[in-house]
Amino acid sequence: MSHLLDNPFYNALIAKNIDLSDGDENVRVLHADVGPFAGMKTVNRHNFDQLYAMIPDERVVAVVAAYEIEVPANWKVIRHMLLYQMVCNNLQAPNKPSAHILTLLNESHVPLMVELTALTNPGPFGERTIKFGDYFGVFDGEKLVAMTGIRASVGPYREVSAVCTHPDYVGKGYAAALITRVINLIVERGCIPYLHVRKDNTNAIRVYERLGFVSRHEMVFNIIKKVVG
């Protein structure tokens, strides 16, 4: 039997995050201003064709799977990446006050969040990505310089996402403090933290391992665009 996290975005969008997406029991896709992710119950040509019919011309979507997938010819693969999916079943992050001031972000902060993620590229982030859940940030005056939050909800699992720090503020411990805050919040709610990280991002992987994350599965991430004509 497959694991819920083998098909994380389908299982999020068919249940807990369904209100952020369109589709049916076979294919779901996030609203464009929330994010690019699409999920299929089964990755096959029929469901790719259904996804193709659902979205506007030239829209870019992201598909995450636990194996290499065959992308039909009427889609252009813009980016292909290998990720580790990591799960924290044995939390090592102490639940104690941070030395940094961590601010719960709200919709008034969205322009700053979009600006920071555009600069640091931690993964897709849109005008309404904040609707997924709780995001926390560190400010220098009025400037947002680091951020982390909770994205997809898959059964008992909650995804740690948008881990990013402005290049001028790297090395101050902001990322570790924010991740610690987020994973403790997830655990306090009776859920299990998980995340995705590029296989070649060895520095981040070491940080996550120190916090209690272990690699569960290698995942394949494809960013694809609907091709017309």
- 92 backbone dihedrals φ, ψ, rounded to 5°: -110, 0
Locate all alpha helices (DSSP H) within 25-149, ordered by sequence.
45-54, 110-120
Q: Running along the chain, 229 residues long, what does each successive block of 10 average in pLDDT?
A: 93 98 98 97 96 95 96 96 94 69 96 97 92 96 97 97 96 92 93 96 91 94 92
Q: Which domains does the chain have, with CATH numbers?
A: 4-84+220-226 (3.40.630.30), 86-216 (3.40.630.30)
Distance CA 88, CA 194 (A): 6
Give pLDDT, residue 228: 86
Contact 157, 191 (CB under 8 A): yes
Buried b (16+ CB within 10 A) or exposed e, 37-63: bbbbeebeeebbebbbebbeeebbbbb
- 55 backbone dihedrals φ, ψ, rounded to 5°: -110, 155
| Residue 167 DSSP label | G
- Residue recorded with tokens 């889609």: 75
Give pLDDT, residue 226: 95
Distance CA 128, CA 19 (A): 12
Give pLDDT, residue 161: 95
Please measure the distance between the N-terminal and C-terminal CA atoms of the chain and give it in whole angstroms.
Answer: 39
Q: Which helix (H) or strand (E) holds 103?
A: strand 103-104
Give pLDDT, residue 90: 78
CA 132 to chain centre: 10
Give pLDDT, residue 155: 97
User: Taking the CB of residue 120, how many other CB atoms lie within 10 A of it?
Assistant: 18
**Predicted TM-score of the model (pTM):** 0.92
Distance CA 83, CA 9 (A): 15
Any residues with CB less than 8 A from the CB of 144 and at least 6 apart, and which? 105, 109, 112, 113, 115, 116, 137, 138, 166
Give pLDDT, residue 123: 86
